Structure formats: C-alpha cells, structure tokens
Amino acid sequence: MSRLLVAADPPGAATLAAEEVGRRLQGAVACRGRAVVALAGGATPRLLHGRLADPAGRWAAAIDWSRVHVLLGDERCVPPDHPDSNYRMARESLLDRVPIPRRQVHRWLAEDPEPAREAARMDGLLRALFPGGPPRLDLVLLGLGPDGHVASLFPGGAALEATSAWAAATPPRAGHARLTLTIPAIQAARSVLLLASGREKAWAAGEAWRGAGPLPVQRIRPASGELTLVLDAAAAAAARRVP
C-alpha cells in the first residue's frame, strides 16, 4: 500500500520524514534487535538528517543508535571527503552527530578505481548482513530526480535490468561513475520512503504516485507494500491530480 504525505515546504517535509524514519528504526530495533537503513543523498535528506540528529528534537535520544546499521542507497565514485560524496554529506549531517558505532556504517568504497569490483564487494556485504535470503533492509530512503531516477538507477540504464545482483556500478553521470543498490535490493526492503521537494520534481512525483510504468521510480514497488511518498506542496502538485 502506498501513502502520500505532503507538507507545505521542504523543512516541513523533512519533519514528516523524520517521524516516519524514527518510528521505523525504533520499531525494527524493538522487533528484531537491530535496524538496517539505506540513506539517500541530496538536499532533502540533509534536512531530514538534521531533524534526526537534533539533540533538542525527539529522535536523537529516542532511537537506540547502537543497534542501527547504515548503508547508502547509492554513491558517486569519488573519495569519501569529496564535496560530491553522499557519504560525506551523511557523515556531516547525521553520522558524526549520533552514536552509531563506526563498524555499523557500511559505506561504499567509492574510491576504488574499479567500480564493478566495489559493487561486487557491497553485494557480498549485503549477503553477509542477510544470510540465506533477500536483503530485508528495514528502510530504504530514496531521493527523486526530475527524470524519474532514484538512487543511481537512471531511465534506460543497464542496472535497471539487474535480476539477482543487489548492487551495481553504473556509467558516469555529471562526471562521475556511480554505485547503486539495484531494484531487487530495494524491492526486498520492509519499507521504502521516497523524498522529494520543489516544483522541478512535480512531474516525476506524479508519475511515482500514478504507479507501475517504465520509469525507475515507477518500478519501486516493495514486496511488503510499504511505499511512502513524502513531498512538499510544490512537488506534490502533480501527484494530487492523479486519479
């Protein structure tokens, strides 16, 4: 079952998303003794991270961060201190501000000069975290591109057709090769939270809400049925018009 949550502006959307993320991480720790989450890159997730890490907020103390495992849904093939690194953004806005053990932060080794080798390593790491079955991440956070891409899964890209691999390397975009979780890995998650803000995301958000189709975002339909769109009013304009 898909849900649509709309806030007036990006800060409001980040607050809505923080409530969703906090409850899911808290529930996963209570039910299974740990929570495994894949974070997203981009501006809206940065605001979300700020809500989660705020010592005066609800979730910084409410989540047992010592039981949380963190991955990134995708990464640019740059060193971890590069300005374009999703890991750097996540570290600065969240990971350095909450007590997650370093050994439970499973970053892409995106500085590896052979992206396919790093994709294979991440695939193996996921299989070690989830032995004997699909990678049942408790939560996957996804941003949304104006063209309907999610993570580093772009329209027409070969990585979209992966059927058994849980991680893949993709060709350069905006100057960098990419590493990404695949559709099968995202589909296996217990819940998926899609974040978008801004008028430039309205068309893609509307297509996401419309349902199954050829766009990468339209192919994200978790087996659990737990897909939630968290949008600001500008991004939700088209979604609200979908029957």
Tens of pLDDT, residues 163-222: 999 999 999 988 899 999 999 999 999 999 999 999 999 999 999 998 889 999 999 988
Question: How wide is the angle at C-alpha 36 spanned by C-alphas 35 and 41, nearest 5°?
Answer: 130
pTM of the model: 0.95
Please, how many CA atoms are within 13 Å of residue 204, restricted to the half-sphere of its CB? 24
Predicted pLDDT of residue 1: 58
Closest CA to 44 of 183, 122, 175, 141: 141
| Domains contained in the chain, number | 1
Q: What is the pLDDT of residues 104-149, one digit of tens each?
A: 999 999 999 999 999 999 999 999 999 998 999 999 999 999 999 9
Structure tokens at 18: 């923080």
Alpha-helix residue ranges (DSSP H) falling in 91-201? 115-129, 183-187
Domain that holds residue 59: 2-239
- DSSP category for residue 222: -
CATH number at 158 reads: 3.40.50.1360
